């Protein structure tokens, strides 16, 4: 994927503002992604939109995936206006509906495209308990179960592409330092079904533990298989996006304290670490790790608990099986 990030910045990311002020454009500026195909969920706005713009600008064929086709078409128009040669496709995806996830994967496979990069980025924040049509809390359904199912459906395609091209496949989950504020025990599976147990910030936090653990467990599995594919997670920071505005609407909170940096990032800055995890040659062979501001960091004790990670994987597997066999 080109020169290492360390080489680009002469070994010193502080030269561009200590990490927090670096933009996704700067991370990708000398990386040629011609011939790559990337799927980015939640790309109708915010971090997904910016990640898509940058990857397309660097030559990748980008599949925009979200619920709003209108929003995706607007993003496509913005990208192609900036980069007329950009190769961008729009596909509907509702991560809260497993049938939508399956249809998306089937439709993508019918295109006979390679798949080098999967950015599991879509995010929501619900101040009140919001059940999906399939009966579980919406943030967990979107961030964890939906992305788990999408990844499982596309994993063979990613492995196949990596084997045929010799290019390392990348799977990125958007985590968050908000995972450090959660329910007792890390994940309260009962709260996924019971509104009386719901607390918005803890529910968001446990969904981000879920993302970090999915990247950890899938990443470890890929490494043990010896395939040329890795999975990692990344924290974007506190970002000025629709989700971020909703998250901080009530003002300063414990979660706000946990996730805030010295300043709130722009989407261009927030997407930088996600793009770094998705494309940086610095991370070749690195799998199952968690990154913030271009550095591997340790998640909470729950975010590094392999036993809890296995429970999350089993929960997702069983939930998908129960709903998709009905």
Site of tokens 């990311």 = 13
How far is 36 from 279, CA to CA, in rounded Å? 10
Q: Which of 283, 46, 41 is nearest to 154 (CA)?
A: 41
* 119 to 63, 154, 173, 266: CA distances (angstroms): 10, 12, 6, 19
Q: Where are the alpha helices (DSSP H) in 83-146?
A: 98-110, 138-140
Do β-strands 61-66 and 37-41 pair in parallel, antiparallel, or remain unpaired? Answer: parallel
How far is 24 from 252, CA to CA, in rounded Å? 27
Site of tokens 């993003």 = 75
Catalytic residues: 198
- For residue 122, the SS3 value is coil
Half-sphere CA count of 150, side-chain side, radius 13 A: 35
How far is 230 from 286, CA to CA, in rounded Å? 7
Do β-strands 229-235 and 295-296 pair in parallel, antiparallel, or remain unpaired? Answer: unpaired
Contacts of 251 (CB under 8 A, 6+ apart): none
* Geometric angle at alpha carbon 203, from 123 and 132, rounded to 5°: 65
Site of tokens 């968690």 = 290
How far is 184 from 313, CA to CA, in rounded Å? 19
Q: Which of 229, 233, 210 is nearest to 221 (CA)?
A: 229
Q: What six digits make up the tokens of 223?
A: 């490494």
How far is 122 from 324, CA to CA, in rounded Å? 22
């Amino acid at each position: 994927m080109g020169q290492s990030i360390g080489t680009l910045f002469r070994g010193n990311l502080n030269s561009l503002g200590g990490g927090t002020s670096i933009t996704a454009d700067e991370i990708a500026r000398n990386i040629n992604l011609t011939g790559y195909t990337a799927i980015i969920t939640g790309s109708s706005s915010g971090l997904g939109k910016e990640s898509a713009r940058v990857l397309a600008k660097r030559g990748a064929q980008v599949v925009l995936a979200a619920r709003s086709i209108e929003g995706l078409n607007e993003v496509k128009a913005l990208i192609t206006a900036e980069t007329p040669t950009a190769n961008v496709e729009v596909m509907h995806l509702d991560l809260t509906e497993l049938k939508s996830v399956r249809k998306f994967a089937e439709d993508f496979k019918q295109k006979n495209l390679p798949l080098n990069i999967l950015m599991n980025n879509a995010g929501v924040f619900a101040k009140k308990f919001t059940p999906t049509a399939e009966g579980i809390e919406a943030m967990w359904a979107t961030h964890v179960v939906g992305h788990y199912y999408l990844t499982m459906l596309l994993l063979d395609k990613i492995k196949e592409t990596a084997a045929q091209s010799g290019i390392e496949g990348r799977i990125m989950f958007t985590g968050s330092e908000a995972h450090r504020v959660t329910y007792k025990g890390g994940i309260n599976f009962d709260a996924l079904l019971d509104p009386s147990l719901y607390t918005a910030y803890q529910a968001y936090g446990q969904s981000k533990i879920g993302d970090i653990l999915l990247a950890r467990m899938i990443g470890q599995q890929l490494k043990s298989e010896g395939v040329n594919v890795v999975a990692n997670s990344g924290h974007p920071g506190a970002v000025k996006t629709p989700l971020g505005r909703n998250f901080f609407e009530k003002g300063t909170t414990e979660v706000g304290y946990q996730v805030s940096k010295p300043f709130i990032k722009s989407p261009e800055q927030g997407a930088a670490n996600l793009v770094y995890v998705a494309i940086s040659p610095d991370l070749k062979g690195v799998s199952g790790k968690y990154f913030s501001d271009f550095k591997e960091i340790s998640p909470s004790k729950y975010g590094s608990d392999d036993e809890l990670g296995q429970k999350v994987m089993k929960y997702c597997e069983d939930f998908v099986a129960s709903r998709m066999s009905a």
